[in-house]
Structure 1
Amino acid sequence: MFFFTIRRLLASVLVLLVSSFLVFALCAASFDPLERYYTQNPRPPESFFNNLRETLGLNDNFFVRYWRWLSGVLTGDFGETINGTPVVEQLFPRMLVTGRMIIGAIVIAVLLAIIVGVIGAVRQYKASDYTFTFIAYILIALPTFWFAALLKEYVAGGGQRPVRATGALHAR
């Protein structure tokens, strides 16, 4: 059992490394931190861009940038925002909000699971049992990100929805 646990932990570390590399590569390929300066009027001189690229380390090799980022993350240095404030200062308050949401979701899920489980056990093979089973299969099959977006839009949206392209809102 001990070796199985060690193997699983090593596999988890490998999955984390590969996924962090892929996410870093996708972000590096699709996001330019200097983009907001390109559209400024008047446009900053090329020396400004060269100095900023050097300061941010964008002139370095991709693997060097990834290693610098990974070693910083492993030591607790998540870098700075584009405004120069440390990311850690913004990360932990947001993690507390996320934690509260997760705890609330778990409490709601456990309560609903107990209620549906008791109804399904008491009324086994009845219409309510089949209905709850069908609904459970549908909810399990839904992509989580899509269902969360729907809930955010229609449950937490405050009862407002966009009407036309001008951005006007009205109550339903």
Structure 2
Amino acid sequence: MSTASGRVNCTGCDFQGTLQYRPLRLVYRLHDGSEVESARIFGWCVPCNGIRDIEASMDGEKIRVELEELQKQARSPALLISKVFGSLLGGRANELKEEITGLENQLRFLKSRRSKPRCLMCGGEDTKSLSFDERGLSLEFVHECGGHLKLEPTDPDAIRFSYRPETIFLDHEGRKITP
């Protein structure tokens, strides 16, 4: 699959940047060897002074609600029957157990995390997430000149690139580690 880059300009100065859309997956290795997957978002890295990929924040409350719902499903009589008859009735028990374990790992990860989301280029914690409204303006982020970043419309005839999916391994504080 090929993707076009997102061009970003500042409304107050001549800054130009790029949002590089590419398949990128973050895998956190916890102290006990378990892994938690996450994604990246686009943000502003103050030490890099530019737009970079940064760690996405996880919503602990949303994870707790989803975990409670799955735990209710796991205690249901229908699931107990499916455990007895296995794949004849769908075999959802193992999938459910894996989902519950994944959510529990995410909560343990959030509990152990002390640092703010890091830049995936320099590892710095002084980052700000970027989001754009329907007009393409980033109103939450103010550039050092006082202007706002503006996402330019995508040119349908622009050169497109294909990227190989990439996985970055991180420790529980967001520092890169070797796989």
Same-fold status (TM-score > 0.5) = no
Higher helix share: 1
- The TM-score range, normalised by the shorter chain, is under 0.3
Which structure has more strand as a fraction of its residues? 2
Q: TM-score, normalised by structure 2?
A: 0.20
